[in-house]
Structure 1
Amino acid sequence: MTSSKTSLMSLTSSARRRTRTALGALSVAAVLTLSACGGGSGSDPGDAAADSSASSSPSDSGSDGASDGAAAGAQPDLDAIPDVVAEVNGEEVTKEEFVPIYEAAFAQAASQAQMGGEAPDEEQLRKQTADDLVDTELLAQEAEARGLEVSDDDIDAELTTLAEQNGMKSADELLKAVEQQGVTAEQARDQVGTQVLVEQLVADENGPIEPTDKELRALYAQAKEQQAQAGQSGQGGAQKIPPFAQVRDQLVEQATNQEVGRVATALVEDLRADADITINL
């Protein structure tokens, strides 16, 4: 893999359009961990703390996602999806790029529905997926306008970090794991590239994210409260949360992801106000 910089123009063309990462799943760590390990990195403070004591343990019952949905035999209706799902300031979001993300969302919804006894709401899932892809396209267009770019080294470094967070020895090991779940190495790299691009855009918009100790301790307190509530409700398998110092790095990551999501969401709201968006669902 070369280390030469990939211009944002190329990233925002064919490569990025093949595998956009939905804003609703902004953390690529969550996407790749789901594929590689069958468990999520967590979207709330409790997951961040609990994962540190057993990195191979699923953080919640709904994170088996694609494998459970496939096992249940539920399949989404792809015939209802048009060839051009949406247009964003003249850029097309195609069925080809929409389908993989929609199928993953459907599989997770099908798994959760299996427990709840209700079928997935496909119309709502299609709308949410389209909205997320539109949001991601808006962020990518804004990053391009600001002259931001992502290098191969940036992507390699993020993949290495994700591998280490999931107890793997290398980025190659992580990519092999996700390939076993139907995500190609190229798709994974594209997703990571989009994630890094959004993080660069957030930093350009709002400055570096540096969580304070007070914020981290607040997340830690939330995690302990969630654990206590789980114990009171009789949920089994709850793990004791390690001391604050032991999970501080995970809390930093969690707080950073939350702030990235907050800034990106606010930026999307501003961009939508002036955007020319057509959704064809």
Structure 2
Amino acid sequence: MTHTMRTRARTVLGLVTAAAMLTLSACGGGGGSDSAGADKGTTSSDSSSPSPSESGDAAQGAEPDLEGIPDVVAEVNGEQVTKEEFTPIYEAAFQQAAMQAQAGGAAPDEEALQKQTVDDLVDTELLVQEADSRGITVSDEDIDAELTDLAEQNQLGSAEELLAAVEKQGVTEEQARSQVETQVMVEQLVADEDGAADPTEKELRALYAQAKQQAQSSQSGQEIPPFDEVRDQLEQQARSEQVGRVAEALLEDLRQDAEIEINL
């Protein structure tokens, strides 16, 4: 994995995976493209709430304060994380927070967003360094295959359609490919660390029961489709949660031995 190909943008990765992993409620509501980019905490809004387009237009006018951001925001084992890398990720996080604020939430906490962004970048750099040390590489073919899989999960005809969809969210093709590369790298690192394991039927049924309970408690009126219809998405969710658990455990070990300096 070359340095130029490992541009760190975990916030963008979140957008890509949000577009790829449809929630069970979205499947039930038939709102594919709109639901895919929504925040996990979003519920049905009443008639007084601004529409997504109105919120998006207002959020586009908000600008984060980048004054005082140093040229090097952090160093991880001697590897610099630069302002150039930090800025687009922070801007994406700020825009997402601004959209939530337009929908009735609190105004973006820029200090907290900056801290979360730099922490995510440090974590990503630690995982990249560990993958490099184990000889794990991600090819262009791996990235293309993952993009194709994500497109299929989103009922899109091709990777090009997926890239066009996330571009409407402000994510460039280069950013999306870079983040898919990071995602694949983390998955390969987790498989090397913990072994690849398919979720059990019991785990899938538990996830399904949890989704039904959440739908009932939200009082949104959305019905969860039958288990067999959403099995593929449940498997994807289970694998993603497993990757997250193993990666976080690995990060705890990596942080203990790492030399980390944050300059924000």
With structure 2 as the length reference, what TM-score do the two structures score? Answer: 0.87
The answer to whether the aligner puts 1:56 opposite 2:56 as a matched pair is no
CA contact (8 A) 2:20 2:151 kept: no
What per-residue deviation string (whole Å, max 9, x for no partner) do you get for residues 258-278 of structure 1?
Answer: 010111011111100000000
Unaligned runs of 5+ in 1: 1-7
Q: Indicate the residue corresponding to 2:6 in structure 1.
A: 16
Q: Indicate the residue corresponding to 1:129 in structure 2.
A: 117
The answer to whether the aligner puts 1:85 opposite 2:85 as a matched pair is no
What per-residue deviation string (whole Å, max 9, x for no partner) do you get for residues 16-41 of structure 1?
Answer: 13xx142xx59x4x42265xxxx673
Deviation at residue 117 of structure 1 after TM alignment: 5.1
Q: 1:198 to 1:134 in 2, by over 3 A?
A: same
Identity in percent? 62
Q: 1:1-281, aligned counterparts within 5 Å? A: 8=1, 10=2, 13-17=3-7, 20-22=8-10, 28=13, 30-32=14-16, 41=21, 47=23, 49-53=24-28, 54=30, 55-58=32-35, 60=38, 68=55, 71-72=58-59, 73-116=61-104, 118-231=106-219, 235=220, 238-281=221-264
In 2: Cα distance, 1:163 partner to 1:114 partner: 30
Q: CA RMSD in A?
A: 2.4
Report the number of matched residues: 251
Q: 1:212 to 1:86 in 2, by over 3 A?
A: same
Deviation at residue 183 of structure 1 after TM alignment: 2.2
Deviation at residue 187 of structure 1 after TM alignment: 1.7
CA contact (8 A) 2:73 2:81 kept: yes
Q: 1:116 to 1:71 in 2, by over 3 A?
A: closer
In 2: Cα distance, 1:142 partner to 1:85 partner: 21
What per-residue deviation string (whole Å, max 9, x for no partner) do you get for residues 136-192 of structure 1?
Answer: 000000000001111111101100011112221111122223334432222211111
SS at match of 1:93: strand
SS at match of 1:150: coil
Deviation at residue 14 of structure 1 after TM alignment: 1.7
SS at match of 2:74: strand
In 1: Cα distance, 2:53 partner to 2:20 partner: 12
What per-residue deviation string (whole Å, max 9, x for no partner) do you get for residues 167-225 of structure 1?
Answer: 21111122223334432222211111110000000000000031000000000000110
CA contact (8 A) 1:67 1:107 kept: no
